[in-house]
Amino acid sequence: MYTALLLLILAASILCLGGIYYKRSVTFGLLVPGALLMIIIAFLSTAVLPSMEKIPSTPKGLPYTEKQLLGRKIYVREGCVYCHTQQVRPIKTDAGLGSVSQAGDYLYDYPHLLGTERTGPDLSHLGGKYEDQWHRNHLTNPRPKRPEEEGMPGKVPGSIMPAFSYLSGEEMDALIAYLQALR
């Protein structure tokens, strides 16, 4: 692995230096194959090589049921990933969020939903934290809208999460089943 990596880096460096010293300018005949070769080398080393590593299985990396998969599709469709991460890092900033994520946890995740932004909290270990009804109230509208909703489970004053009241009953159930599967 490391030998292959070093050889590939060496090849790219030679190409790069060659490009710089070959001529004062760049010719079309040099540019097209040179450019292509460079990106192929980078692709091999930073995308293909790491995919060949063996991924040990973990207790969290379980296949989804039919219903959970449907829920996962809705999670993708509604763009929950733009506000929620599903990734716990081994650092102090993430301490207390649950066990640290490992490659095996994501074995059945396609597309991946690691996320890039934490406008809302991390959801890696959400399953079992709340009742289904909590989620139903929360997803319908996370904020208490009427006086009788104050203090109701799943109503979070000051939340800026969107309301998903337009989801059908079946979609809502599937989504909740998926959320409860995140353990």
Partner 1 sequence: MDLWGFLSDKENSAARNFILSSVIWLALVVVVALVLAIKFNWPDFLSNVSWLSFGRLRPLHVNGALFGWLSMSNVGIMLYIVPRLTGVRLWSERLGNLTCLLWNLFLGFSAVTLLAGYTQGREYAEYILPIDFLLMLCLFLLLYNVFKTVLTRKEKVMYVSLWYFVGALVWTPFIYVVGNNFLMDLTGLGGRGPVSGINDAMLNWWYGHNLIAMWFGNLGLGIFYYFLPVLTRNALYSHRLSLIGFWTLAFFYVWNGQHHLIYGPGPDWLESVAIIFSVLMVIPVFAVVYNFFKTAQGKWHLLFQNSQEALPLKFLLIGGFAYFLTCMQGPLTNAPRTINAFFHFSYWIVGHAHLAFLGAFSFINMAAIYYVLPRVLKTPVSLRLANWHFGLFATGLMTFLGVLHSSAIIQGGLWTAKIQEYDFLTGATLWRPAVEHIEVVRSLQPFYFAIMIGASLMVVGILTFVINVLWTAYKAAGRQEAEV
Site for ligand HEC in 47-66 (CB under 6 A): none
Cis before residue 153, ω within 30 degrees of 0?
A: no
Site for ligand HEC in 139-158 (CB under 6 A): 142, 156
Q: What span, in angstroms and rounded, lies between the C-alpha atoms of 89 and 156?
A: 26
Site for partner 1 in 3-42 (CB under 8 A): 5, 12-13, 15-17, 19-20, 24-28, 31-32, 34-36, 38-40, 42
- Count Cβ atoms within 10 A of the Cβ of residue 72 and give its class: 0-12 exposed, 13-18 middle, 19 or more buried: buried
- Supply the DSSP symbol for 158: T
Give the three-class secondary structure for 101.
coil
Site for ligand HEC (CB under 6 A): which residue of 7, 119, 131, 153?
119
Site for ligand HEC (CB under 6 A): which residue of 50, 56, 90, 121?
121
Q: Which of 3, 6, 2, 11 is nearest to 41 (CA)?
A: 11
Q: Spell 1-13 as b/e; 16+ CB within 10 A means b.
A: eeeeeeebeeebe
Q: Please identify, using beta-carbon distances, which residue of 112 and 131 lies nearer to partner 1.
A: 112
Q: Please identify, using beta-carbon distances, which residue of 38 and 173 lies nearer to partner 1.
A: 38
Note whether 66 binds partner 1 by CB under 8 A.
no
Question: Are 74 and 167 a contacting pair, CB within 8 Å?
Answer: yes
Report the sign of the C-alpha dihedral through residues 73, 74, 78, 84, in that order. Answer: negative
Question: One symbol per residue from 113 to 152: x for binding partner 1 (CB under 8 A), - otherwise; what is it?
Answer: xxxxxxxxx-------------------xxx---------
* Binder of residue 126, out of partner 1, ligand HEC, none (CB less than 5 to 8 A by kind): ligand HEC
Q: Please identify, using beta-carbon distances, which residue of 139 and 177 lies nearer to partner 1.
A: 139
Q: How far is CA 68 from the centre of its chain?
A: 17
Q: Please identify, using beta-carbon distances, which residue of 43 and 109 lies nearer to ligand HEC.
A: 109
> For binding to ligand HEC (CB under 6 A), which residues are involved?
75, 78-80, 82-84, 119-121, 126, 129, 142, 156, 159-162, 164, 175, 179
